[in-house]
Every structure is written in structure tokens, then in C-alpha cells.
Amino acid sequence: MIHTDTIAAIATGMNTAGIGIIRISGDDSFSVVKRVFKNSHHETLKTIESHRVYYGYIYDEEHLIDEVLLIPMKAPKSYTKEDTVEIDCHGGILVMNRILETILKNGARAAEPGEFTKRAFLNGRIDLSEAEAVIGLIESKNEYAMQNSLKHLTGKFRDCLNSCKDRILYETAYIESALDDPEHYDLTGYPERLKDQVESLIEELHKLIESHKEGQILTEGIHTVILGKPNVGKSTLLNALLGKERAIVTEIAGTTRDLLKEQVMIGGISLILIDSAGIHDTNDPVESIGVDLTRKMAEEADLILMVIDASVPLDDSDLLVFELIKDKKALILLNKNDLVSVVSPEDIKKYTDQKILKISAKEESGFEAFREYIKQEFTHGKLPYNDELYITDQRQLQLLTESVKNLQTVLQSIDNGMPEDFFTIDLTAAYDNLCRITGDLVEDDVINEIFSRFCMGK
């Protein structure tokens, strides 16, 4: 155990609720609690048994503060692997603060954000990738994000990394033994064998890296921009998808000046919808700022929804949008299908080969095909509740990429017929980069940065 001082924090949200939880961890947790807790007879406890629930009261000296349940957990059977006590109290902000204050007065210090999880990591209960999964779980915005964080938290990613680490370590150890003891280890034909191993390792790590894009889409949502000239029905579409009146719909061209961002679940996937000011030539300076921004957003989007008004002929503004969606993932929604159409899918196909769906945003028709499209395009039609493990953390992604680069250098050294000790340099670098993900090899400031992303009391 590295840390021995005792920390305390309010672990539940800072709002009024049925109950609140105060968490205490460290060597003195039990003795601190003995100073402030009295049982149902208002007597101080002489001994505290682990993993039992005690009913009683918190006192600040002679002042009664709250009626509580006390849950003591002796090390190492706790979240932090230290002596820990949780106090279930009434969930008022004032009550929780008063209890925390009393505990701090009696020998604990206020915990930093994420400090409980940091201790779980430093005490070896979880590795760094699992600690990051805790943040992911807390911040999950949808079911996929939650499921994926749980997979990381239960060690699926750690197991995968550890197996790669072991394989690299075996090779480095073999080379070093052979160089030290050439009589007993033979390196003839070894580079070819190593090449096979390294290629398969690269493939494995590549799969994790590749999972990032899909993982991001599933856990964060598809960044979607709605494009089209004014009055084609972009805001109406946005409102229909959201099922509420958020964007202001008017009949005057160009009223959607600000970029609106909304999140909506379609076919089980979240779409982050960005309505735009509309792409068209304008002399209005405010609108032209919107147009430039729209171009930029379209560049960065995962998906563009281009809306066309089927009741009016195509014009230069539509052609400008066709230009913009070239080589991008885009879906054309031929809107106002409820009116007499003057634009047909065939007319559009002259300008673009993107998929076209007929809809009426006003009557909310044609949406089923739209949902199906999203499902097919982004999850290949299958529900993504599969066994796939996704990498969503940027730090992990970067380290995996570095590790692959190191392994590729090993392949180059093999191809160039370099001596074996050259291989070990890059194998070790690849190994170290994987260790940085699990936290076996990581600098203090990186650890501090990661845990500062946690909320208080976690």
C-alpha cells in the first residue's frame, strides 16, 4: 500500500435526493468513523466488523447531525483495497456537507477528484485501462457506450493487451538468451519465425485500432450535418426527428442562422444532428458566416443529410451542395413528397450517385427507410450488442498506434537482415507502449491527468 492517509468525499451527486453517500478510505477510516458514529442506543462502537451494516447516528461532538447506515469494508475487500467506510445518509446537500465536515474535523482529509479510483489503481486492484473504463462508464451517453465500458472494466481489453505483451516478452527473452548463451539457443531461421509472430501481433493490434472509428460512432454518436438551400425543410426535418419544436420553422428563406446541435436516437444509434444556415450565395454577412461554418462542419461530419425540396426545380444552390457532398458519406432526402413533385430521383442522379430517399418531413413519412439506412450503413445491419471490443480512448489509441509502428520497424530490420539485438530494441519499445496503456509503465503526470478527469468522490 502506497498511500496511508485517510480521504473522504461525498460520492453521490450534489443535489437533493433520497439518500447520499459519503465515502472514506485509508488506514484511519474505522477510527475516524468511531469518533463520529453512535449506534441505535446513542453509544460509541467499541469494535467494527467488516462488511456489516450498522444503523445509527452521526454526531459532531454533542450535536446530532443525521440518522445513517454505516458500511465498513476492511482491506483488501473494498473498492480501493484499503479500509473503507461508506455512510448512507439523507440526501440533502446541507446534511451531506455537515457529515463530510465532521469527518474531516476528525482526522480525514478531503479527497481529490478520482482519488478513490487512483488508489484502486495504485493498490493494484485495477489497471489503468480499467480506471479509464470507470470514467467511460460514468460518462456513457447510451447503451453501447455503457456496454463497451463494462467490457473494458471487466478486463477484456486488459487480457487482450496482456496476451500481446507476453508474446513480445517471450521473443525479447529468447533473443537475449540466445545472444548470452549461443551454445544452447540456436538463432538459425529465427528471423523468419519472429516475422510471423510480429505480423500476427500487428494484425491483432490493428484490429483494436480499427475498432476506434466504429466505437466512436456507437458510443458518441454519428456527427450528422443537415444541408440544403433555405426553405427545403431542414428545420422541419430536425423537429420531426426530435419530436419537439426546437429549431424555429418559418416560411422566410434563411431563418436558421445559428447552428443547432441536437442528439437523437435513430435505429438504436445516436445521431448528433447539426442543422445549418444553408449553403447558398448570400450578401447577408451573418448568414455568410453560417455558410462558411457549414462548409467546415460538412468537411468533418460522419454523415451529411442533404435535403432537397421536390416541389421546386433544382437550382444552382442545390448544385453547390452536390459539389460539397462529393466523396462524402451522404444521404439525399427528397422532401415535400406530399406535394406535387417537379424533381424526381432521376433528375438528381444526373448530378450525384449518392443514395436518395423520398420523405415528407411535414407528414413524417419515409422515415422507416431512413432508419434502416442508418442501421445498415453504420452497424452493417446487425445490432451492435455483439462481442466486439471498441477502443474509444484517445490515449489508448495513440499508444496502440505507436506500438504497431515499433513492430513495423522490427519487420524492416528483419527484411534488412539486421543483427538480432536490433530486433530487441523495437520489440521492447512496442512492449513499453502497451505497458503505458495498462499503467505498468507510466509517468506520474499522466496518471494525475487521467484521474483529474474523474468526478469528486469516485
Helix axes 128-139, 420-438, angle to 10 degrees: 40
Closest distance between ligand GDP and the C-beta of residue 246, in Å? Answer: 12
338 part of the interface to ligand GDP, by CB under 6 A? yes
Among 61, 192, 245, 251, binds ligand GDP (CB under 6 A): 251
Among 168, 232, 241, 272, binds ligand GDP (CB under 6 A): 232
276 part of the interface to ligand GDP, by CB under 6 A? no
Question: In this complex, which beta carbon is closest to ligand GDP, that of residue 149 or of residue 239?
Answer: 239
What is the secondary structure of 98-128 as a DSSP string? HHHHHHHHTT-EEPPTTHHHHHHHHTTSS-H
Residues 456 and 458: their CA atoms lie apart, in Å, by: 6
Asked if 190 contacts 197 with a C-beta cutoff of 8 angstroms, the reply is no
Among 219, 224, 256, 396, binds ligand GDP (CB under 6 A): 256
* CA-based torsion, 353, 304, 360, 288: positive or negative: negative
Coil, strand, or helix at residue 201? helix
Element of type H or E holding 71: strand 63-73
Question: In this complex, which beta carbon is closest to ligand GDP, that of residue 216 or of residue 235?
Answer: 235
84 part of the interface to ligand GDP, by CB under 6 A? no
Closest distance between ligand GDP and the C-beta of residue 347, in Å? Answer: 18
Residues numbered 296-335 forming contacts with ligand GDP, rule: CB under 6 A: 335
Among 34, 125, 156, 362, binds ligand GDP (CB under 6 A): 362
Residues 42 and 30: their CA atoms lie apart, in Å, by: 18
Among 118, 119, 165, 234, binds ligand GDP (CB under 6 A): 234
231 part of the interface to ligand GDP, by CB under 6 A? yes
> Cα dist. 444→79, 118, 197, 439, 440 in Å?
21, 11, 33, 10, 12
315 contacts: CB under 8 Å, gap ≥ 6: 229
Among 25, 117, 123, 360, binds ligand GDP (CB under 6 A): 360
Question: In this complex, which beta carbon is closest to ligand GDP, that of residue 7 or of residue 333?
Answer: 333
Q: Which of 19, 27, 32 is nearest to 90 (CA)?
A: 19
Question: In this complex, which beta carbon is closest to ligand GDP, that of residue 370 or of residue 423?
Answer: 370
Residue nearest to ligand GDP (CB): 233
The mark string for 54-73 relative to ligand GDP (x by CB under 6 A, - otherwise) is --------------------
Coil, strand, or helix at residue 249? coil
249 part of the interface to ligand GDP, by CB under 6 A? yes
336 part of the interface to ligand GDP, by CB under 6 A? yes
Closest distance between ligand GDP and the C-beta of residue 289, in Å? Answer: 17
* Helix runs in 108-265, H state only: 115-122, 128-139, 143-153, 156-180, 190-220, 234-242
Q: Is 1 exposed, middle or buried (0-12, 13-18, 19+ CB in 10 A)?
A: middle
The contact set with ligand GDP (CB under 6 A) reads 228, 230-236, 249-251, 256, 335-336, 338-339, 360-362
